[in-house]
Structure 1
């Protein structure tokens, strides 16, 4: 039985979150939290929050043992992009793309 948690419309680019996701995929929960705690990336905070939610879901909803959990899958999909305009010289306009992410973490018990 696996437990899942998702954070949608997070205001950080998916490219930046995927760097952190690659670090914790396949690790057990204790190692994943230790890695996220000492990773100096903006996405680490978001991923840690989602991972805590997935662990809480596993513990409370499915009666899983927290000590046996590991990160089965962790991925980030691109959400809607916010489009903004930055004025430039001679009346030109520069498009600024503020990207959003959908962060998903699935944890499972090792048998």
Structure 2
């Protein structure tokens, strides 16, 4: 077997902490871009009508710039056109406790939620290198296996139909 050294795929991330939105609302936008290519993800977020979309776009662009910067600093060969959104999460930040005046001198407490938005991008390797790895490894000897076809069992008749069939059978036998 030919051993192929698997190159570790480098990931680049960016964070936006303490954003004034609930994580649930931020996840609605982040779910739109998970797994998409970077340019398609930017277009999707840019035309989204959600209030948090500009923040998500800014984080996404920051992750792309991080990939570009790190590749230049470390001398990595990262193609920005092959980047895709690997993960996009919104974690819960600290909650701000607030009080709202209520009738008859009372006060109602409520919480303002904050979110930490994290976007990770990685380079998608072209499919041609995967085919080359498959072609290099020899295929194991094929074994002949015979698989029996599943036989379908006859469905049982309901009790009423069985009784009716039994009566007709006895009438035919009596004749």
Q: How does 1:1-111 map to 2 (within 5 A)?
A: 1-63=10-72, 64-111=78-125
Q: What is the count of residue pairs matched by the alignment?
A: 111
TM-score by length of 2: 0.62
Q: Determine which structure has more spread, i.e. the larger CA radius of gyration.
A: 2
List 4+ stretches of structure 1 deviating above 6 A: none
C-alpha displacement of 1:71: 0.1
Instruction: Name whichever structure is richer in strand by fraction.
Output: 1
Q: Taking CA–CA contacts closer than 8 Å with sequence separation of 6 or more, which of the two structures ends up with the larger relative contact order?
A: 1
TM-score by length of 1: 0.96
| TM superposition shift of 1:41 | 0.1
Q: Give, in whole Å, the separation in 2 of the partners of 1:58 and 1:100.
A: 27
Q: Please state how far the C-alpha of 1:81 moved relative to its aligned partner.
A: 0.4
Aligned-pair Cα RMSD in Å: 0.8
